[in-house]
Amino acid sequence: MVGWITLHRKLRDWEWYTDSKTVHLFLHLLLSANHKDGRWRGHEVKRGQLVTGIDSLSSATGISKSCLRTRLKHLKSTDEITVKSTNKFSFITIVNYDTYQSDKVEVDKQLTSKSQSTDNQLTTNNNVNNENNDKQKRFLEFWDAYRNKKSKGQAEKAWKKIKAEDYDAVILAAKADAKANPTNEYRQHPSTWLNAKGWENEECQPVEDGAENVDACKEALFNVCEGNDEPEGQARTTADADRARERLDARLSAGSVGENQTD
């Protein structure tokens, strides 16, 4: 048989508690009784019942047959059990079996709850481990991209404060900054850069479409070629800028860009 029974501490207050053989026999009956209804050789054996005999009980408990008969009388006299005998075996019913085992459902619930709690804790731990692994992996990507490799430990501490949704932006900005500034001159320590949210600086933003930068460079080159002495910062119209780019494109195509050339 597998499983368990519940045993309340109130058993110590039982009137037969000081009679060790009676206690031994009663515990054996509790352990041997059906925990659910069943059948045996055409007979119904209900929850809290067992089919046995004096010889079987003596063999199982080590208590002599004469002593067993006395102990069975003890249990019957206080309505602990009822016995229905045939010429081959006896049906023993534990009268208050459901009372003795009523806590089993609660025990099962507690065990199930504990098991679920343990499973949830393991799942949580696994999720935390996965998050930590991903954070470490993305930090190494950032470390590879950022050119000033000083104080890695401090940088890693700063990285732990970064939100996961910002990882891509930080790494892209670090790569863009590395391309724009190939030397480490004036570059901040990585921990300082991270703590200051350096990836949000405009100069660190990756360029998705270089057309505007190319046009700006063309216009600047045109100004140099034309000897444009327009004061710095003076507003230009969109039409002026467009004409400047068109003229420079034409000169670039013709290969005629030189010093102070005129039309």
Q: Flag whether pLDDT at 262 surpasses 50.
A: no
Q: Read off the pLDDT band of 238 (50, 70, 90).
A: low
The residue among 217 and 157 whose pLDDT is bigger is: 157
Q: Read off the pLDDT band of 247 (50, 70, 90).
A: low
Q: Read off the pLDDT band of 153 (50, 70, 90).
A: confident
Instruction: Report the range of poorest mean pLDDT among 76-80, 129-133, 146-150.
Output: 129-133
pLDDT at 197: 85
Q: Phi then psi for 44, rounded to 5 degrees?
A: -80, 130
Q: Flag whether pLDDT at 230 surpasses 50.
A: no
The residue among 198 and 258 whose pLDDT is bigger is: 198
Q: Read off the pLDDT band of 111 (50, 70, 90).
A: low
Each residue's pLDDT tens digit, 33-88: 888 888 888 788 888 888 988 899 999 999 999 999 999 999 999 999 999 888 88
pLDDT at 231: 44
Average pLDDT over residues 5-11: 82
